[in-house]
A = this chain, B = another copy of it.
Amino acid sequence: MTFIKNLKASWDKKNSLVCVGLDTDLEKIPEHLKTHEKAAFEFNKTIIDATVDFASSFKFQYAMYAGSDTIDQLKESINYVKQNYPDMPVILDAKRNDIGNTAKMYAKQAFEILSADAVTVNPYMGGDTLEPFTDYKDKGVIVLCRTSNPGAKDLQDLEVEGKKIYQIVAEKVANEWNKNKNLLVVVGATYPKELKEIRKIIGDMPILLPGIGAQGGDVKAVMDNGKDSNGQGLIVHSARGIIYAGSDEKFAENAAEKAKKLRDEINKYR
C-alpha cells in the first residue's frame, strides 16, 4: 500500500485528520521522565499509546533528535509505532535537500534506516533533487510550499509574471514533478488565504498543515480554506499543543484529551 492510500484509509478508519507531532524536547518533558536513560523514547511511547486513537498519523521532527543527540531514540520511537500500530502512517520532518547522489543517502536514511513512510523536502534546489525520494514509489514525499513562519514571505511570496513562488512550486508539484504520484505539499496553517489558492492548484492532493495551536493557526479557517472535495485532504499537525499539555504523571491523559478535542473541533468543519 502506498503512503497516500494508507493515509486516506487512516483518515476514514480513525475519523480524524489529526497528526500528532513527536517534536520531543528533553527540556519540556515531565520532570519525572527527565532522568530516564532513554527519556525521549519513554516519553514518545507514552504519548503514542495515549493519542493513537484520536490521530490518523504521527510526525517526528528530526531536528529535536539531532539537537539532543538522540537519533537512536528517534529510530526506536518509529519502530515502536511500526510494531504496535502498523497501519499508522509515520512522517519524518527533516526538510531534506541536496544534489542527486547525495539526496539518495537522505532518502536511504528516512525510508530504510529510520523506516519512515514519508519525508518532508525543500524544493529550492529543483525537481531533480526530489527524484531520489520519489523513486521510492510507495513512500510519500512532502514538498515545502508555503511555510508557517513570518519570514516565509522573503522568497515564497515573490512574484514571477503574476504568480507567487509558492504557487509555482504548487504547480510544479501537481503537474511536473509528480511522476510517481507520491508527492504532497506543506502549507502553514497560519496563512488561510494562501492555503485556499494552493488547494485550487493541487486538487485533492493531501496537504501537511503545521501551525495549528502554538503558532496561531485557526481550525475553522484552515478547514474552510483547505479541505478537499471529500472534507478531508489535510494532515493537521499539532505538536506542542498536544504533547506538552501536562507536566506531571497525568501528562499522557492530558495529551489524549487535547488530541481528542482537536479531532472533534476539526470534524465540526468537515
* Residues in chain A within 8 A of chain B (CB atoms): 23, 25, 61, 63-64, 66-69, 71, 95-100, 102-109, 113, 122-129, 144, 147-156, 158-160, 165, 168-169, 172, 215
Which residues of B have CB within 8 Å of A129?
149, 151
Which residues of B have CB within 8 Å of A67?
104-109, 113
Smallest beta-carbon distance A185→chain B, Å = 13
Q: In whole angstroms, how far apart are the Cα atoms of A155 and B102 in the complex?
A: 20
Picked from B23, B127, B149, the residue with its CB within 8 Å of the CB of A154 is B127
Interchain CB contact under 8 A, A98 and B95: yes
- Given A25-B105, A66-B113, list of 17 further CB < 8 A pairs? A23-B102, A61-B102, A63-B103, A63-B109, A66-B109, A67-B105, A67-B113, A68-B105, A68-B108, A69-B113, A71-B71, A97-B97, A122-B125, A127-B151, A128-B151, A158-B165, A159-B160
What are 13 A-to-B residue pairs whose CB atoms are below 8 Å?
A23-B102, A63-B103, A64-B102, A67-B107, A122-B122, A123-B155, A124-B147, A126-B153, A126-B156, A127-B154, A128-B149, A155-B169, A159-B160
Smallest beta-carbon distance A79→chain B, Å = 14
Smallest beta-carbon distance A109→chain B, Å = 4
Which residues of B have CB within 8 Å of A124?
122-124, 144, 147, 155-156
